[in-house]
Structures are given as C-alpha cells and as structure tokens.
A = this chain, B = another copy of it.
Amino acid sequence: MANIRDIAKATGYSVSTVSRVLNNYPYVDEAKRKRVLQVIKELNYVPNHVARNLSYGKTNNIGVIIPYTNHPYFDQLLSGITEMAFEHHYKVTLLPTNYDAKIEQAYLEEFAAKSFDGLIITSRSNSLPHLLSFKKYGSLVFCEKLPHRQGPCVYIDREHALAEGIRYLQDQGVQHLGVTLGRHSRISYTSKVTIEAVQRFYPNFDVEQDIYWNCLDPIMGYDAGQYFYKHGFDGILTNTDLVAAGVLKAYPTQKHPKIVGRDNLIVSDLLQIPTIDNHLKQCGEQAFELFYQEKSDQIRIPYKFILR
C-alpha cells in the first residue's frame, strides 16, 4: 500500500505539498493539485487514519463502558449515545465488562493510552475514586449522580420515580408487596435505592422474604412470579418490564397482581403494564453531549410514570 511519501516521489513534489492537497489547503498550484489527486487515484492511495490520529492526538472515537449489550436498559442508553455520536462524526466503541472490575480496569488503561477521546461509563465495577483518578487522561462522563463538582454526569431521579410507582401500588390497595431486583452478588445502586423507597411506603417490608433477586428477563420473572403467586403477593414492583411480563405470566389471568414495570419497553405497552420510563435514550444523548461540549454539568433526566 502506498504512503504519502510514495505519492510525493511519484509526482516529484514534496510530502508537504501532497499533505496540503489532502487537507485542502489553499496555496497549492492548481496544476499540481490535480496531478497529485490523479496519482493518488492511480496508486490507490488512502491516507492512514492511525497515523493521522497519532499526529492529531485525537481519534474521534468514544468508548462506552457497558456491562453487556442486548439488555434493554443498556441498549436504550447506547442508542442515544450512538445517534448523538453519529451526528458529531464520532464513532462509538463498545467496551463490555460483564461487571468484571479487571476488565473495566483494562479499558481504563486503554483510555489512558489515548485509544479514545472520551469514555462514557454507563455502569461501573470499580470504585468511584478509582475511576475518577483517570480524569487526568481525558474526559469521563458518568451515567450516575456524582458527588458535587466531581465531573460531568447524567442521572435519573430514581428516588422520586420509584416513589411514584410505589405510591401508585399503594393507592391501588396493594397489601403484600413483592419486589424484583437484579444481581444479588454485587448489589447495584439502583437496587439499594429501590429497597429504601419501598421501606418508606411499606414499613413492614421484609428484605428477606419480599425480594426476588437476580431477575433480568421474563424467564427469571416467571420464576419470581411463581414465588409471589404462591405466597399471595398482590402487588409487584419490578426492575424492568421484561421481568414484569414474566411475573404476570405466572399468575392466572383473573388473579393478576397490581404491577409496575420499568423502561417503557414495547412489551409493557403490549401487555398494558404501567411502567416507569426513565428516558434512557435521552440519558445517552445527553451523556454524549456532555462529552462533546466538554461541559462538567450534572444533568438530571426527568422520568415519567406511565399509567396504562
């Protein structure tokens, strides 16, 4: 493959002149410009992007740390990021961690090594101070509320969103409330907030008996539903619409519990499940914007409780 020096040689002009043609500088003789372009075509020359990036010190690439794809929560976030990145001529590189702190660490090092112009952290496995120590290498945007002035972030007002969902269940007369949550091994911040919110409305809520952990999809939701049905739960607060759908499936149709889903997924519309829409796509868009505008704002994305 030809490089810029080959083109210089073939045309008889200098490397600088070729570079000037490539970058549309003024002050290049029209005849020479044409000749250069012609030779470029003849030799099938394409400027090496990596070399360019090295020279510019910039890659136009943003990394997104994400546990995994193909999960509605993260896919929505990702689609917001991707769309916005696209508009600003950035590319998005997926950095799946599977919640492994070691892998996350490896990505952070690649970031420090200038592989990406920025990093959006949709969910993290290392401690916040550790992650923040990488700020010196470039711009980091978090998808969680950071302590004041610690850097750019977008976040959801989970507390109020959950409160509204739980109040709805209470208003519907729910006596025995069950809750589905995700990973039990490393309990997420969201799970913690959920438990606290529920306890405020249901003081007798039993953390041991009334939570069904490790719910991520309808299959696990179905398991949860069987448990809840057997034990006479009449209201369920779920961690995502997918799980809500599974839960409902486990109850006989006439005995459906009051339920609240999350993420406003298509299923919740199809099955008429009330849901908390956290506008994740918008979160993703804003996260990218924060990176792009080099702002250090803390943006709260409004949620919306959708009654069906």
Contact = CB atoms under 8 A, between A and B. Distances in A.
A268 to B, nearest CB: 11
A31 interface: no
A-B pairs, 7 with minimum CB distance: A49-B113, A70-B79, A46-B112, A49-B115, A93-B93, A50-B54, A92-B94
A270 B70 CA distance: 18
A78 interface: yes
A179 interface: no
Main secondary structure of the interface of A (DSSP, over half): helix
A122 to B, nearest CB: 14
A63 B44 CA distance: 22
A235 B249 CA distance: 25
A13 interface: no
24 contacts: A44-B136, A46-B109, A46-B137, A49-B110, A49-B115, A50-B50, A50-B114, A54-B54, A68-B79, A69-B78, A69-B82, A70-B75, A70-B76, A70-B78, A82-B94, A86-B96, A91-B94, A93-B93, A94-B94, A218-B266, A218-B270, A242-B266, A246-B270, A267-B270
Contact of A217 (B82, B218, B266): B266
Interface in A251-273: 266-267, 269-271
A53 B112 CA distance: 15
A75 to B, nearest CB: 6
Interface residues of A, number: 49
A249 B270 contact: yes
Interface in A219-256: 242, 245-246, 249
A112 B49 CA distance: 9
A22 to B, nearest CB: 11
A278 B94 CA distance: 24
B59 A82 contact: no
Contacts of A17: none
Given A47-B113, A50-B53, A69-B82, A270 B269 contact: no
